[in-house]
Amino acid sequence: MKDFKLIIVTGMSGAGKTLACRSLEDLDYFCVDNLPPLLIPKFVELCSHSSDRMQKFVLVVDARSKNFFNTFMQVLDEIDKQKVPYQLLFMEASDAVIIRRYKETRRRHPMDPNALISDAIQQERKALAKIKQRATHIIDTSCLKTGELKERISKLFKTSDSGKMNINVLSFGFKFGVPLEADLVLDVRFLPNPFYDEKLRHKSGNVADVAQYISKFDVTKQFKEKLDDFISFLVPQYINEGKSQLVIAVGCTGGMHRSVYIAHHIYKLLKDKDYLVNIEHRDLMKNKVEEHLADEDVIDE
């Protein structure tokens, strides 16, 4: 159980438990929402003795469980007897903020769907009072923005193996449309185009002859130097901001030569820096391709 980590998330309905859960998922925790309290000890027992690689768990328990208030305190006592290490995160917010959030979503309060929201909130506060006293962490989201909550969660629960940003490098052709999922779009249509060389026209940007053709021009050399500085500066800023995924799209006219070459260059740069990076050539095979190398097989640009 050395590496076993358990976080139990509870608190006021409408205080941000769902957002907290999503933030923890981004930190590579396995989240189970609305687990009946009576099942928690068995779940913990199974997970803590599992040989699976998954060792970080989040359980969200709240008033949606019908027997929540009658059993949850007993369940916590039982976990304590098992000597299972866990942290109890209590999500809090002011009455006015919770009422406003329920008004915006037009949802009924799970504590008492037929009561006024203000009355249901008071019932829930009273029922949660003793549980709140046992919390290891209390987060009041009344004045927090989504990004601020995510940052707070990250500071509390991020581990050395969690939250690595996933980077996807995507080459594409502008004539097939700009990828909707792109965070950054690089237009490399200004680079010399191998399409006009008959010997290179049907070879992709990963083939040595094409790569050598594109790379021999001064404009390409200057661009790659500036691009390397730009990417090396920008990626850590996104990581510090808490972004979980970054899509870098590189486009040329058809998505076969220049975009493939530059996308591979970015992929290699990031991989050498030990980032978690993938590459995809979206439109490559929409062209007439007679010779192409996979990025893992490219030895030299």
pLDDT tens digits for range 164-198: 788 999 999 999 999 999 999 999 999 999 999 99
Count of CB atoms situated within 10 Å of the CB of 133: 8
254 annotated ligand-binding residue: no
Is 16 annotated in a binding site? The answer is yes
- Does 17 appear as a known binding residue? yes
| Averaged pLDDT, 234-252 | 89
13 is annotated as contributing to ligand binding: yes
64 assigned to a ligand binding site: yes
What pLDDT, on the 0 to 100 scale, is given for residue 205? Answer: 93
Q: Residue 147 annotated as binding? A: no
Which residue ranges make up each domain of the chain?
5-157, 166-297
50 is known to lie in a ligand binding site? no
**Better-scored residue on pLDDT, 39 or 174:** 174
* The pLDDT of residue 58: 92
Q: What is the DSSP string of 36-51?
A: -GGGHHHHHHHHHT--
Bigger pLDDT: 242 vs 116: 116
Nearest to 10 by CA among 56, 54, 73: 73
Say what the pLDDT of residue 240 is: 80
CA 109, 112, 116, 117 dihedral sign is negative
Which CATH code of 3.50.7.10, 3.40.50.2000, 3.40.190.10, 3.40.50.300 fits the domain covering 5-157? 3.40.50.300
**Does 12 show up as a binding residue in the annotation?**
yes
Q: Which long-range contacts (CB under 8 A, 24 or more apart) does 94-102 make?
A: 94/140, 94/142, 95/121, 97/14, 97/141, 97/142, 98/12, 98/13, 98/14, 98/15, 101/14, 102/14
Residue 237 pairs with which residues in a beta bridge?
A: none
Q: Is the pLDDT of residue 2 over 70?
A: no
CB 171 within 8 A of CB 260: yes
Q: What is the pTM of this model?
A: 0.60
Angle between helices 95-105 and 117-133 (to 10 degrees): 130
pLDDT at position 276 over 60: yes
Q: What is the pLDDT of residue 219?
A: 97
Higher pLDDT, 107 or 16: 16
Does the annotation flag 63 for ligand binding? yes
Does residue 161 have a pLDDT over 60?
Answer: no
Report pLDDT for 61: 87
Indicate the average pLDDT of the chain.
87
135 is in an annotated binding site: no
pLDDT level of residue 224 (50, 70, 90 thresholds): very high
Give 46-82 pLDDT, tens digit per residue: 876 665 556 789 999 887 766 666 788 888 888 888 8
